[in-house]
Amino acid sequence: MMLKIAVAVGAVAFVLLDANPSLWMYDKLTPSNAFFENKNVWITGASSGIGAELAVQLSEAGANVVISARRENELEAVKGKCKAGSSVKVVPLDVTDQEAMHRSVEDVVQGHFGKQGLDILILNAGKSQRLPAVKTDLQMTRDLMKLNFDSLVDMTLQVMKVDKWAEKEKGHIVVTSSVAGKLPVALSSSYAATKAAVNGYFSSLRSEFSWLRVDIVCPGPIATPIARNAASSAEGTKLLQNESDDNKMPVDRFTKLMLSGVKGPKQLFYETWISQQPALLFTGVAQYLPTVAINLSKVVGPKRIQAFEAGKDVYKMSSWVTRDDVEK
């Protein structure tokens, strides 16, 4: 009887959960975003997707928001979607341009926010990858590492220095990582490496200061342009334009959960996983049953590559799970 109940509870949880259980429950119990009122927040990678939705939801919560990305016209469009009358400043920025980024940090932290300084730095800039490892040249890997990892570290250290976080003994960093940094992901070897580096670096940085809060947010597949803009081959880029968002989490739902973690207790939400099933389950398996995850990846990985090269949507299990697989 108890076994049946446990199985039933597990089945319900599998269907309902789209985040780690503590975050899912906290989000249900604390819907208010009053925590962000009058907070000074800087979001990078804010011209589309998660960054753009963060700007919208934070403006609705009463935060003072700075949004940055390379394309000023898209940033202005995001600002136009934010709450009327809210404080949203557009700061065009290529985070891989070190000199420009350092100037922007001084302008934003000292010039725009002034004495209060920056309350929350959200590092959201990044690029994905969709290509088998053996077809990914070293330059593509270097470019991904420069954007997804190096620029985040550089900006973090510059903000901490200019805003004198160590003197204030106050600071809050939110990093958009990925479940790809937690588990084997075929077609994303270099991207996964950048996210594993992010997880390792920012976890270690957190450990060096008792006062520093660092939230590492690990999304699964989210309905944003990141997949269609992923680093790939010329042929792969064409295939990505037909990729559906049907099996991905809506970006507004993801962002709501992300902000619930940011406003929640740091002891609970230093790392959060936010994804629809089955990616959320796979992440848990990789964390707690790594041997199972490794062996599973050796079955699933080659099939995902075959599906990708055949022009199929790799986020649809039906693209790489056949009737023969089920019957076996």
Q: What is the structure's pLDDT at 6?
A: 43
Residue 4 clears pLDDT 80, i.e. is over it: no
CB 273, CB 179: distance < 8 Å: yes
CA–CA separation, 151 and 33 (whole Å): 29
Q: Per this entry, what is the length of the chain?
A: 328
Q: What is the mean pLDDT of the segment spanning 241-246?
A: 74
Q: Which of 191, 201, 270, 315 is catalytic?
A: 191
Q: What is the mean pLDDT of the segment spanning 174-193?
A: 97
CA–CA separation, 213 and 119 (whole Å): 11
Indicate the pLDDT class of residue 313, thresholds 50, 70 and 90. confident
Does residue 191 carry a catalytic annotation?
yes
Amino acid at 232: S
Q: What is the mean pLDDT of the chain?
A: 92
Sign of CA dihedral 194, 224, 226, 50: negative
Residue 174 clears pLDDT 60, i.e. is over it: yes
Beta strands in the chain (DSSP E): 40-44, 64-68, 88-90, 120-123, 171-176, 212-219, 271-274
Residue 244 clears pLDDT 80, i.e. is over it: no
CA–CA separation, 261 and 241 (whole Å): 32
159-162: list long-range contacts, CB under 8 Å, 24+ apart.
159/42, 159/105, 159/109, 159/118, 159/121, 162/105, 162/106, 162/109, 162/110
Residue 13 clears pLDDT 70, i.e. is over it: no
Structure tokens at 10: 């597990």
Helices 251-263, 49-60: crossing angle, 10 deg rounding: 60
Domains with residue ranges and CATH for the chain: 19-288 (3.40.50.720)
- Residue-wise pLDDT for 86-132, tens only, equals 999 999 999 999 999 999 999 999 999 999 999 999 999 999 999 99
Question: Of all residues in the chain, what percent carry a pLDDT higher than 90?
Answer: 81
According to DSSP, the residues that pair with 122 across neighbouring strands are: 43, 174
Checking DSSP bridges between strand 171-176 and strand 88-90, what pairing results, if any? Answer: unpaired
